[in-house]
Amino acid sequence: MATLPELAALRTTLDEPAVEHLQRLLGAWSLLADLSFSDMLLLARADVGSHAHDYVVLAQVRPNNRSTLLSDDLVGTTQVGARWPLVSEAFATGQRHEGEVHLDGLDEPVPVWALPVRSGSEVVAVVVRLQGPLRGPASLYEKSYLQIFSRLCTMLADGSFPYREADVAGPGLPRVGDGIILIDGRGLTEFATPNATQVLHRLGVYTSAEGRSLKNLGLRVRAIERALEFGNPEIEEIDRGSDISIMFHCVPLLEAGVATGVLVLVRDVSDLRHLNRLVVSKDAAIKEVHHRVKNNLQTISSLLRLQARRDDDPKSRSALLEAERRIRSIAVVHEVLSREPGEEVAFNEIVASLVLMVEEQSLLSCELELVVDGDLGTLATDVATPLAIVIAELLMNAVEHAFVDFVEGDLGIVTLHLKNDGAWATAEIRDNGRGLSSNFSVEVPTSLGLSIVRDLVRNQLRGSIEMRNVDAAQGGGAYVAIRVPVAN
């Protein structure tokens, strides 16, 4: 389904400021639907290619507290202007017009309001309110809802609603059914719904609030004061101890740009905040686990390095140092996870640490340049850990064996090209060294390191590995390509 900006561009002549104004309206008009217990349509004039006075339905909203009158989605449809004379009058006069309309599938006509939507000095659209039948005589609270709705309609017609600064009734914000407190221009409470009264009880306010300010009842909500003073929507959470959190969303009611009251939507968010604290606590515990694993691995790495220094056998010393390097590669992954816990990790941080580790361990007499190109993005930890070991092993293998014939003044270059297309992660390593021996085969590796690389890539990562020499015409050296599925 096309979005409002797309429909406006294709089917109307509305300019960008008007479309932005209507976009803000969509972020707030569920409040209108709930306060009026009504379905609503947003109509704009069709472009010149359509029949004169036809309208395009740009958006539709249903009330959360009453059954809908419209079973079909009308967004994107063209409405014949002759069927909606009140809409034409609202466009022409910039005033609210009331009447009735016959809807398909209903025997009785439906009360309808045509509410002009003003952006700047121009009426750019009309909100059509389709009112369903009330359940018997309107209650005190329903009458209060409709009075607030009428005040917002006036703001809609003069361009002060929706608010430029913020949305209301958007995702995560209190809704009409959560509880309403109506504050007058003096800061006194006109009425509070039963749900709102229950919320006040949670904050320790048991005295009737009507005719009194919340501040005088021992509850200071600064967002109400700011909404009255500045005429902008304000949000504030008030806590009582560590178990109770109440959200106050203060919506100013304006007349000629001056706040004459505040509609306060309240919601008890104690359970949500408790869950947030649990998540934060869990994240902290996971970070601590990864931090301790990293420390333990680094301790093992240090012990192996110390043992290697005391070993007189060159082969044993080399084996110990290789094991130490592999453990450090795993520790790098846990170091990143200790900062950002989760099941995925940003692999570019791991690569930077691996390159630094390889450079620190290089004993070449020539100059060495390690170049990293591209990025693998975010990878699952069960892919990132073995892949980090593989890349570290291949980089170290290139540094140790590719440049044995190089002397001081020569420049050994190792490039690491990374790519992630969403399905496969590819790592290509190339050097400008002497290349692989003539009898080399990845199927019969001559070192433990390459055996580990081959087994990790094929068995654990379920990927592929290619190792070959580069033609002398292309610069020579060795080329290795690792390709593994991202969803391992």
- Based on the fold, state whether residues 221 and 354 are members of the same structural domain: no
Quick check: is 355 in a domain? Answer: yes
- Based on the fold, state whether residues 264 and 289 are members of the same structural domain: no
Q: Of residues 305 and 123, which shows the higher confidence score?
A: 123
- Based on the fold, state whether residues 414 and 404 are members of the same structural domain: yes
- Based on the fold, state whether residues 213 and 286 are members of the same structural domain: no
Joined tokens for residue 400: 């140790």
Quick check: is 162 in a domain? Answer: no
What pLDDT sits at residue 280?
Answer: 59
pTM (two decimals): 0.60
For range 86-108, the mean pLDDT: 88
What pLDDT sits at residue 153?
Answer: 94
Q: 177 and 64 in contact (C-beta within 8 Å)?
A: yes
| pLDDT at 383 exceeding the cut of 90 | no
Q: What confidence tens digit (pLDDT) does each residue in 104-142 have?
A: 777 788 899 999 999 988 999 999 999 876 666 667 778
| 177-192 burial: b if 16+ Cβ within 10 Å, else e | ebbbbbbeeebbbebb
Joined tokens for residue 259: 């706040």
CATH of the domain at 376: 3.30.565.10
Quick check: is 440 in a domain? Answer: yes
Mean pLDDT over all residues of the chain?
Answer: 85
- Based on the fold, state whether residues 187 and 104 are members of the same structural domain: no
Q: Of residues 354 and 188, which shows the higher confidence score?
A: 188
- Based on the fold, state whether residues 317 and 426 are members of the same structural domain: no
- Hey, which bits of 289-364 come out as E strands? 344-346
Residue 83 CB coordination number (10 Å): 11
Quick check: is 168 in a domain? Answer: no
Domain closes at, from 157, 191, 220: 157
- Based on the fold, state whether residues 386 and 298 are members of the same structural domain: no
For range 203-219, the mean pLDDT: 89
d(CA 7, CA 438): 65
Quick check: is 299 in a domain? Answer: yes
Report in angstroms the alpha-carbon separations of 47 from 4, 17, 56, 389: 15, 17, 9, 62
Q: 361 and 325 in contact (C-beta within 8 Å)?
A: yes
Quick check: is 258 in a domain? Answer: yes
Residue 89: pLDDT band with limits 50, 70, 90:
very high
For range 451-463, the mean pLDDT: 88
Joined tokens for residue 145: 């809802």
Q: In what order do the strands lie in the sheet with 234-240?
A: 189-192, 180-184, 258-268, 244-255, 234-240
β-partners of residue 267 are 247
Q: 385 and 337 in contact (C-beta within 8 Å)?
A: no
Residue 281: pLDDT band with limits 50, 70, 90:
low
Instruction: Specify whether the backbone of 179 is left (phi greater than 0), alpha (psi in -120 to 50) or beta.
Output: left
Residue type, 401: H
Residue 7: pLDDT band with limits 50, 70, 90:
very high
Domain closes at, from 268, 294, 327: 268
- Based on the fold, state whether residues 76 and 117 are members of the same structural domain: yes
CATH of the domain at 223: 3.30.450.20
CATH of the domain at 34: 3.30.450.280
H-helix segments, 211-266: 222-230
Q: What confidence tens digit (pLDDT) does each residue in 312-332 have?
A: 888 888 778 777 777 777 777
Instruction: Specify whether the backbone of 61 is left (phi greater than 0), alpha (psi in -120 to 50) or beta.
Output: beta
Quick check: is 164 in a domain? Answer: no
d(CA 172, CA 178): 12
Q: Using alpha carbons, select from 71, 73, 63, 7 the residue that is nearest to residue 34.
A: 63
- Based on the fold, state whether residues 351 and 468 are members of the same structural domain: yes
- Based on the fold, state whether residues 292 and 348 are members of the same structural domain: no
Q: 388 and 329 in contact (C-beta within 8 Å)?
A: yes
For range 410-417, the mean pLDDT: 90
Backbone angles phi, psi at 54, to 5 degrees: -80, 160
What pLDDT sits at residue 98?
Answer: 93
**DSSP symbols for 9-23:** HHH----HHHHHHHH
Backbone angles phi, psi at 338, to 5 degrees: -70, -20
| pLDDT at 248 exceeding the cut of 90 | yes
Domain closes at, from 268, 294, 319: 268
Quick check: is 193 in a domain? Answer: yes
What pLDDT sits at residue 320?
Answer: 83
Domain that holds residue 15: 4-138+149-157
Identify the weakest region by mean pLDDT among 228-242, 301-315, 367-381: 301-315
| pLDDT at 64 exceeding the cut of 70 | yes
Residue 283: pLDDT band with limits 50, 70, 90:
low
Residue 155: pLDDT band with limits 50, 70, 90:
very high
- Based on the fold, state whether residues 211 and 275 are members of the same structural domain: no
For range 269-289, the mean pLDDT: 69
- Based on the fold, state whether residues 55 and 125 are members of the same structural domain: yes
| pLDDT at 152 exceeding the cut of 90 | yes
Domains of the chain: total: 4
